[in-house]
Amino acid sequence: MAVSLNILIVALSLIAFSPLCLSSKAYGSGGYLFPQFYDHSCPKAQEIVQSIVAKAFAQDPRMPASLLRLHFHDCFVKGCDASILLDNSGTIISEKRSNPNRNSARGFEVIEEIKHALEQECPETVSCADILALAARDSTVITGGPSWEVPLGRRDARGASLSGSNNDIPAPNNTFQTILTKFKRQGLNLVDLVSLSGSHTIGNSRCTSFRQRLYNQSGNGKPDLTLNQYYASVLRKQCPRSGGDQNLFFLDLVTPFKFDNHYFKNLIMYKGLLSSDEVLFTKNRESKELVELYAENQEAFFEQFARSMVKMGNISPLTGARGEIRRICRRVNHAAY
C-alpha cells in the first residue's frame, strides 16, 4: 500500500509540474524550441549575446528598444525567422524598406556583431532568428525589466515578405480593433496585446507617427481629445504640421530608458504618445482594466510581459530541416560568398 501510495504521489507531482516544463516549448514542423538547445553545440551562445547587447547599450541607450522592436517586427511577418534582417538581393525584396521599418528599424549592426562573434565561437550553429529572440530578452533585462528563459532552435528564412511587413505589423494610427485583429492573426490575444505594448516603456517614436493626433485626428482638422492637451502643446513645438518628420520623442516621457510600468500610468493620464497606445485605455473595457492593473502592479505586468514574449517568440518558427542557419544575417547562405 505504501509503495502504491508513493507511486500515486509521484504521478500527481508529474502532472502538477508538466505545464511548467512544457510552457517554454514551441512545437514546429520537424522539431521544437527549448531553452537548452545550444547547451552542447554552443554553450557560450547566451553569454556572447548578452555581453554584446550590454556593450551596445553602453554606447547607445536607445539600442535595447531598437533590438526589442526588431524581434517584434520579425515575428509578425512569416513568423520568427529573421526575415527582417535580409537585404535586397536578386531574389529578395527586403522588409527593411517597408513602411513600418523604413527610416525606423535599427540595430542591424549589433545583430551582425553578435553573429560574427558566434560564428567565431561555433560556426554555422546559432541562427539569426534565435539571436533576435535572445537580444530582445537581454535588452529588456538590461533596462530593468523581467527575465525569462528563451525557447531556442529557430532556423532562418531564405526569403522575406515586403507585403507582409506592410500589412501585418500594427501601425500607430490603426484602430483598436485593427490592432487586435493583427495580434489574433498571430495567435496572440488581448492580454498579449496590452502587455507587449508595454515595451513602449522604452524607446522613441518619430513625429510622423503621431502628427495626426496633434492636428487632424479624425479628418476634421481637430486634434485628438484623448491626448492631454498640455502635453499636446509641448509636442507641437517639435512636431509641426509639416517638416520635422524624423524628430524623435520618448514613448515614455517619465522614465524613457527604464523598463517599468510608467507607460501604463501615462495612458491613464492621457499621455500615451501614439494613438495605438492610448486606445488601449479609451476604446475597450477589458484592455482598460489591464492598463489599470499594470499601472498599479508592476510585478503583474512583468510576469505577463515575459509570458507574452515567449508566446510571440513561438510564432511559426522554422525548425528541423526547414530554413537554414545563415552565416551572415543580412543575406542567405548561397549569396554569402
DSSP 279-298: HHHHS-HHHHHHHHHHHH-H
Tally the C-alpha atoms within 13 A of residue 127's C-alpha that lie toward its C-beta: 26
Active-site hit among 73, 116, 200, 334: 73
- DSSP bridge partners of 23: none
Beta-carbon count within 10 A of 152 CB: 26
Inter-residue contact 190 to 303 (CB < 8 Å)? no
Q: Which residues have CB under 8 Å from 98's CB, separation 6+?
A: 162, 165, 166, 169
**Residue among 179, 205, 210, 202 nearest 305 (CA):** 202
Residue type, 265: K
Q: Read off φ and ψ for residue 177, nearest 5 degrees.
A: -65, -40
- DSSP bridge partners of 60: none
Residue 167: in which H helix or E strand, if any? helix 162-168
> What is the C-alpha to C-alpha distance for residues 125 and 153, in angstroms, rounded to an integer?
10
> What is the C-alpha to C-alpha distance for residues 329 and 258, in angstroms, rounded to an integer?
29
Inter-residue contact 41 to 179 (CB < 8 Å)? no
**What number of residues does the chain have?**
337
Active site residue 73: yes
N-term to C-term CA, the chain: 68
Inter-residue contact 95 to 162 (CB < 8 Å)? yes
Measured on CA atoms in the order 122, 124, 128, 129, is the torsion positive or negative? negative
Beta-carbon count within 10 A of 50 CB: 17
Which three cell numbers mark 334?
548561397
Which sequence positions are flagged as catalytic?
73
